């Protein structure tokens, strides 16, 4: 807490504390952001970004299976002389740019795809059936690789070290938890992450200080009944009927037990049961996700979900086992943006993107992000970056098989990553030099 307070004072009053010695002046932010953006938009650099993104898009890999993705990243890092540690969390990579000296600041990109069949017909459509980068992680990786090149070009000017965190398993598997556990952010002073936003116009970024994304958990319920002929339902214990009642009753937790001002969500997205129209099955399963703004609220929902399912199916003479999959799909805590680091990114974004109108203050979201695991340990800032272009068929929601993103977001994200890291290290160096 003391460290965060000191940083907060620094970002607001960077010149208030002085030992009387002449400190090296901080970088001129407008010049830095302009130069980085010009470099990222250079035709040759942009062409490389697009090729990298499309190669990643054609070869999506699911959580903790990102072997080809990881190899591609390592090859690109090696091509520009950037050292890295690998593997962390099975396929993850942490690269380093700079002298190796402290302070260390981290930039993060997630690598995994989703089990979705791509429906967009274009030259670089996914080549792997049933797998797609439907959440933009191919874009995230490419932006961070672009930042890596920009940073390496300025490696001798860095006032510290930038850690590049390429993380597996964000989609429900908590890859960030395992990266933290294996030391990815040990001794790191702060971390920044970007996520594409298909509903935000290209050229804008947005976030909010404090809590940003929700906590999330998952559940899978297996209901055991007694099967039988559909013409003789009195001789069976119908798990389908029990499941239907349980699903409806779960919504009463939200509508009748939750304060309307306390946002919570329970959504059932999976139902499996029965193979024939004239047979009452013996077992059925259903599952979904639950969300809350706080971990306390999340665990309250967990308790009530289990109670409601077990009690409701018992009414129909059935039994239930509810699995919350906490080892395989860890509960995600809320992503909390550190105020000082949020202000820093906000300031950099305004210089890079042409003013405050392009840096949006976003509302809380019930979406979840495993970037939250980093924010539990060190100051963190997580921002959305617009990738919508009204002249394209973009604007389709994330996790859709029809997702289309404007690739001109690539140089913007690369330059923003680099500018945030360079200016952060410079300000930290100036702060130390002033004392």
For residue 23, is pLDDT > 90? no
d(CA 134, CA 64): 17
Q: Which pLDDT band, with edges at 50, 70 and 90, does 287 fall under?
A: very high
d(CA 418, CA 150): 7
Q: Helices (H), strands (E): how many in the chain? A: 11, 16
Among 298, 323, 348, which residue terminates a domain? Answer: 323
328 domain-assigned: no
d(CA 146, CA 412): 10
User: Which residue, among 432, 423, 346, 414, has the nearest Cα to 148 in the 3D structure?
Assistant: 414
Q: Which pLDDT band, with edges at 50, 70 and 90, does 189 fall under?
A: very high
329 domain-assigned: no
Is residue 403 within 8 Å of 396, Cβ to Cβ? yes
Is residue 107 within 8 Å of 144, Cβ to Cβ? yes
pLDDT of residue 433: 66
Pair 70, 175 in one domain: yes
pLDDT of residue 13: 31
Pair 183, 235 in one domain: no
pLDDT of residue 208: 98
**DSSP string of 47-79, one letter each residue:** HHHHHHHHHHHHS---TT--HHHHHHHHHHHHH
Q: What is the average per-residue pLDDT within 222-236?
A: 96
CATH number, position 24: 3.40.630.10
Within 8 A by CB and 6+ apart from 228, the residues are: 235, 236, 279, 280
Is residue 186 within 8 Å of 104, Cβ to Cβ? no
Is residue 267 within 8 Å of 370, Cβ to Cβ? no
pLDDT of residue 395: 75
- Secondary structure (3-state) at 80: coil
Pair 149, 230 in one domain: no
Pair 130, 39 in one domain: yes
Q: Point out the annotated binding site for Mn(2+).
A: 135, 137, 171, 195, 399
Pair 182, 271 in one domain: no
Is residue 383 within 8 Å of 187, Cβ to Cβ? no
Q: At 22, list the tokens.
A: 């002449």
Do you know the residue count of the chain? 435
Residue 307 φ then ψ, to 5°: -60, -50
50 domain-assigned: yes
Q: Tell me the per-residue pLDDT of 288-313, one tens digit each, with 9 for 90 and over.
A: 999 999 999 999 999 999 999 999 99
Among 281, 301, 323, which residue terminates a domain? Answer: 323
d(CA 393, CA 199): 12
pLDDT of residue 4: 31
d(CA 394, CA 391): 8
Pair 65, 187 in one domain: yes
Pair 394, 413 in one domain: yes
Q: Tell me the per-residue pLDDT of 365-422, one tens digit each, with 9 for 90 and over.
A: 999 999 999 999 999 999 999 999 888 877 789 999 999 999 999 999 999 999 999 9
pLDDT of residue 167: 98
For residue 6, is pLDDT > 60? no
Among 323, 351, 371, which residue terminates a domain? Answer: 323
Within 8 A by CB and 6+ apart from 217, the residues are: 289, 290, 291, 298, 301, 302, 324, 326, 329, 331, 332
Beta strands in 261-318 (DSSP E): 264-273, 279-280, 283-292
Is residue 132 within 8 Å of 60, Cβ to Cβ? yes
User: In the block, which residue shows the tokens 């930039």?
Assistant: 107
Q: Domain of 102?
A: 2-213+334-433
User: Which residue, among 341, 424, 411, has the nearest Cα to 383 in the 3D structure?
Assistant: 341
Name the average pLDDT for the chain: 92
pLDDT of residue 239: 98
Domain total of the chain? 2
Residue 19 φ then ψ, to 5°: -90, 0
Pair 228, 178 in one domain: no
Beta-carbon neighbour count of residue 356 at 10 Å?
12
Pair 205, 259 in one domain: no
**pLDDT above 70 as % of the chain:** 93
pTM: 0.89
**DSSP string of 88-118, one letter each residue:** ETTTEEEEEEESSPSPEEEEEEE---BS---
d(CA 273, CA 286): 8
Which of the 8 DSSP states describes residue 349? H
| Rg of the chain (C-alpha set) | 24
Pair 36, 128 in one domain: yes
pLDDT of residue 44: 98
Q: Tell me the per-residue pLDDT of 73-113, one tens digit each, with 9 for 90 and over.
A: 999 999 999 999 999 999 999 999 999 999 999 999 999 99
Pair 301, 393 in one domain: no
The secondary structure element, H or E, covering residue 381 is strand 380-388
68 domain-assigned: yes
For residue 336, is pLDDT > 50? yes
Pair type for strands 380-388 and 205-207: antiparallel
CATH number, position 276: 3.30.70.360
Q: Which pLDDT band, with edges at 50, 70 and 90, does 435 fall under?
A: low
Q: Tell me the per-residue pLDDT of 50-65, one tens digit each, with 9 for 90 and over.
A: 999 999 999 999 999 9
Pair 307, 368 in one domain: no
For residue 21, is pLDDT > 90? no
pLDDT of residue 327: 81
387 domain-assigned: yes
């Amino acid at each position: 807490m003391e460290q965060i307070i000191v940083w907060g004072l620094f970002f607001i009053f960077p010149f208030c504390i002085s030992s009387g010695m002449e400190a090296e002046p901080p970088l001129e932010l407008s010049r830095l952001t302009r130069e980085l953006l010009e470099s990222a938009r250079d035709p040759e650099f942009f062409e490389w970004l697009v090729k990298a993104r499309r190669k990643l898009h054609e070869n999506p890999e699911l959580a903790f299976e990102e072997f080809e993705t990881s190899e591609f990243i390592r090859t690109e890092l090696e091509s520009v002389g950037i050292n890295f540690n690998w593997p962390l969390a099975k396929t993850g990579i942490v690269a380093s740019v700079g002298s190796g000296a402290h302070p260390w600041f981290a930039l993060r990109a997630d690598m995994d795809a989703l089990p979705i069949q791509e429906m967009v017909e274009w030259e670089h459509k996914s080549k792997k059936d049933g797998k797609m980068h439907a959440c933009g992680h191919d874009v995230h990786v490419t932006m961070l690789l672009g930042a890596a090149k920009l940073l390496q070009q300025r490696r001798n000017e860095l006032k510290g070290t930038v850690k590049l965190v390429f993380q597996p398993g964000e989609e429900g598997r908590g890859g960030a938890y395992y990266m933290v556990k294996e030391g990815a952010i040990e001794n790191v002073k702060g971390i920044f992450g970007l996520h594409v936003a298909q509903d935000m116009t290209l050229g804008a970024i947005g976030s909010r200080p404090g809590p940003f994304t929700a906590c999330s958990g998952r559940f899978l319920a297996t209901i055991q009944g007694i099967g039988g002929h559909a013409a003789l339902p009195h001789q069976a214990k119908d798990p389908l009927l029990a499941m239907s009642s349980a699903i409806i009753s779960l919504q009463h937790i939200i509508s009748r037990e939750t304060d309307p001002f306390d946002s919570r969500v329970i959504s059932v997205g999976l139902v499996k049961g029965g193979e024939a129209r004239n047979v009452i099955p013996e077992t059925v399963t259903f599952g979904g996700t639950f969300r809350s703004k706080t971990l306390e609220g999340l665990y309250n929902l967990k308790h009530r979900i289990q109670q409601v399912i077990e009690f409701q199916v018992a009414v129909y003479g059935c039994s239930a086992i509810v699995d919350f999959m906490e080892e395989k799909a860890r509960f995600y805590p809320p992503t909390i943006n550190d105020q000082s680091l949020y202000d820093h990114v906000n300031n950099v974004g305004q210089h890079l993107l042409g003013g405050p109108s392009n840096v949006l203050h976003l509302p809380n979201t019930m979406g979840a992000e495993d970037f939250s695991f980093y924010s539990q340990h060190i100051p963190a800032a997580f921002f959305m970056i617009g990738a919508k272009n009204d002249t394209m068929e973009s604007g389709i929601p994330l996790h859709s098989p029809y997702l289309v993103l404007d690739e001109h977001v690539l140089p913007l994200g690369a330059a923003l990553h680099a500018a945030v890291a360079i200016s952060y290290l410079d300000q930290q160096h100036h702060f130390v030099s002033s004392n």
